[in-house]
């Protein structure tokens, strides 16, 4: 729990009457600091991750041009329309561990002639290579998103990665461009983000941080011209990895150690380091909670684990701050989301149902990313369709939007808006040996002045009587939408009414420039505020 800063808070909130406590409620006060804007929230925080795994690509995106499922050049129309609606900014592909076994040449040219491979990363299933570079880029263009290509370090080479980038980006008159044109695409594509390996501490080559630093430098020396360089991740809270990587990848030789980070911009490019972090019930990857029918203890441990994201960003950022005091290098959460127990019939497909718990985890994670917008510049939900904590599930021709999708939908107002710091005064949620803040809040102001506030009340039993004041502004009007349900594992099902579809939040009241509302137990809600125009700059004025 953060303490409100005495004077400002008193000034803004003193006039707000305390709501009466009821048995199943707690009191919460929030101060939004409109006069102290922070960093711009990079829309890429709403990025996605897609891997050749289970039904993530085949069925989830690709059905082929001859499929009875409505499609455009083989890509599902319903999935594309759903992703466009929530303005998905970028998609990371082709893996994951799959990327470390991927050879791009197997998946270009006439589809009927492409070799059939084996997906050794995921259950030795046959990889038909029907969805390759051209199909992925077509999908990206249909969605209106940017590509993030993860290159193969474990079984590939710098030459293979470089020729892939040339194939995609070379002018049509070059040899690589002519080959691309023969395969159906004359215009070069742009590749804004390139991932230099995936989990290089594990499936991406089983490397030490020392060794990876040198490999990274080698790949960067040939890939740097093509896009932003995203270094392979530290495994969650492996801070030693980040320290070693930054120390070794930034400096060539002790005699050459630069005193300023400017050196890196000129000599060696690290645009972002990545972190992979999954939510389990607790910290043990081997003991996972069921996706539905879980206990409150599982709920509590999942929330505790998700809150760790905040600590992880703080600690990776502290290392970055020493190496990069100017804040040039960002953090990409290249894989995040909930990982529940897998279907025993096909354990490698990582298909899981999505409940209210997933919505709360999504809301909490996105709030945390946003509140660190100065460093966290990208995140990729694992994974977009049919794998782990998805936005979308399909069942052949049927599609459903998950509770996680609804969170991304409601949070759209934050994309590209300016972070407004918040101070939150609320009790902890305690259960099963877990003690975590019950409330998470993130606020931002869009260019048109609209303020978006996302609130997660993760307490499964108690509603929050909330009072929200704005320092440096006064609220004129407010409305909200909420995702909640009776049961902690409520979920949508194909062909049935969606119990988690966002609803108007009733009882949002504006009085004397502040807002009061009740955030239901186990809910994610998003408020839209219109502030009163401030005379002059308005920066100093507070609500009366
Ligand atoms: O998202 C599933 C897997 O999780 C990815 O392939 C890998 O990078 C991570 O361990």
Q: Which of 95, 150, 350 maximizes ligand 1 atoms within 8 Å of its Cβ, making it the mutation to test the pocket?
A: 95
Which residue is closest in CA terms to ligand 1's atom 9? 96
Q: Which residue puts its alpha carbon closest to atom 8 of ligand 1? A: 96
Q: Whose CA is nearest to atom 5 of ligand 1?
A: 96
- 267 pLDDT more than 70: no
pLDDT above 70 (res 14): no
User: Strand 439-445 to strand 451-457: parallel, antiparallel, or no bridges (unpaired)?
Assistant: antiparallel
Structure tokens at 520: 């239901």
Q: Are strands 71-72 and 75-76 parallel, antiparallel or unpaired?
A: antiparallel
Query: Residue 478's beta-bridge partner residues?
Result: 529
pLDDT, residue 119, reads 95
Report phi then psi at 296, rounded to 5.
Answer: -65, -30
- Could you tell me the two tokens for 247? 């120390």
Q: Is 382 in the pocket of ligand 1 (CB under 6 A)?
A: yes
Instruction: Examine residue 383 and say whether the peptide bond preceding it is cis (omega within 30 degrees of 0).
Output: yes
Q: What percent of the chain has pLDDT over 90?
A: 85
**Can you give the pTM of this predicted structure?**
0.92
The answer, yes or no, to whether any atom of ligand 1 lies below 6 A from the CB of 419, is no
CA of 369 to the centre of ligand 1 (A): 20
- Tell me how far the alpha carbon of residue 59 lies from the centroid of ligand 1, in angstroms: 19
Are β-strands 523-531 and 475-483 bridged in parallel, bridged antiparallel, or unpaired?
A: antiparallel
Nearest CA to ligand 1 atom 6: 96
Q: What is the DSSP letter of 496?
A: S
Q: How confident is the model at residue 446 (pLDDT cuts 50, 70, 90)?
A: very high
Instruction: Kindly report, residue by residue over 346-375, the tens digit of the pLDDT.
Output: 778 999 999 999 999 999 999 999 999 999
Helix axes 356-371, 296-323, angle to 10 degrees: 20
Active site residues: 199, 335
233 touches ligand 1 (CB under 6 Å)? no
């Amino acid at each position: 729990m953060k303490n409100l800063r005495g004077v400002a808070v008193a000034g803004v909130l003193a006039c707000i009457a305390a709501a009466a406590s009821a048995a199943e409620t707690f009191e919460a006060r929030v101060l939004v600091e409109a006069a102290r804007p922070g960093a711009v929230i990079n829309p890429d925080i709403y990025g996605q991750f897609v891997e050749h795994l289970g039904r993530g690509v085949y069925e989830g995106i690709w059905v082929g041009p001859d499929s009875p499922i409505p499609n455009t050049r083989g890509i599902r129309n319903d999935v594309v329309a759903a992703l466009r609606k929530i303005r998905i900014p970028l998609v990371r592909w082709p893996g994951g561990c799959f990327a470390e076994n991927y050879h791009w040449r197997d998946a270009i040219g006439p589809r009927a002639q492409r070799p059939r491979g084996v997906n050794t990363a995921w259950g030795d299933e046959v990889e038909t290579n029907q969805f390759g570079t051209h199909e992925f880029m077509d999908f990206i263009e249909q969605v209106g998103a940017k590509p993030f290509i993860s290159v193969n370090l474990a079984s590939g080479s710098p030459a293979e990665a470089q020729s892939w980038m040339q194939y995609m980006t070379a002018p049509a008159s070059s040899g690589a461009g002519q080959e691309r044109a023969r395969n159906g695409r004359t215009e070069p594509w742009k590749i804004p983000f390139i991932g230099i390996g995936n989990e290089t501490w594990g499936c991406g080559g089983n490397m030490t941080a020392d060794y990876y630093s040198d490999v990274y430098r080698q790949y960067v020396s040939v890939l740097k011209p093509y896009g932003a360089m995203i270094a392979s991740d530290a495994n969650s809270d492996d801070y030693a990895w980040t320290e070693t990587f930054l120390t070794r990848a930034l400096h060539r030789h002790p005699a050459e150690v630069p005193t300023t980070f400017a050196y890196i911009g000129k000599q060696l490019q690290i645009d972002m380091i990545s972190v992979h972090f999954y939510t389990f019930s607790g910290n043990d990857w081997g003991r996972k909670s069921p996706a539905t029918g879980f206990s409150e203890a599982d709920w509590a441990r999942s929330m505790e684990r998700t809150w760790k994201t905040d600590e992880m960003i703080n600690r990776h950022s502290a290392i970055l701050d020493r190496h990069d005091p100017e804040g040039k290098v960002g953090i990409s959460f290249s894989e995040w989301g909930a990982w529940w127990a897998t279907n025993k019939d096909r354990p490698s497909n990582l298909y899981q149902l999505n409940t209210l718990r997933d919505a709360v985890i999504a809301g909490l994670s996105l709030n945390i990313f946003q509140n660190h917008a100065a460093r966290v510049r990208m995140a990729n939900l694992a994974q977009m369709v049919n794998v782990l904590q998805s936005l979308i599930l399909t069942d052949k021709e049927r599609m459903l939007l998950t509770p996680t999708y609804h969170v991304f939908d409601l949070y759209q107002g934050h994309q590209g808006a300016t972070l407004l710091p918040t101070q939150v005064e609320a009790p902890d949620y305690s259960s099963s040996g877990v003690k975590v803040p019950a409330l998470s809040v993130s606020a931002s102001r869009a260019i048109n002045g609209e303020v978006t506030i996302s609130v997660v009340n993760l307490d499964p039993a108690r509603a929050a009587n909330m009072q929200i004041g704005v320092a440096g502004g006064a609220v004129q009007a407010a409305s909200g939408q909420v995702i909640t349900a009776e049961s902690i594992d409520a979920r949508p099902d194909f062909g049935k009414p969606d119990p988690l579809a966002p609803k108007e939040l009733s009882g949002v009241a504006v009085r004397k420039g502040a807002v009061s509302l009740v955030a239901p137990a186990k809910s994610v809600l998003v408020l839209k505020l219109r502030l009163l125009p401030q005379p002059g700059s308005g920066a100093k004025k507070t609500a009366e």
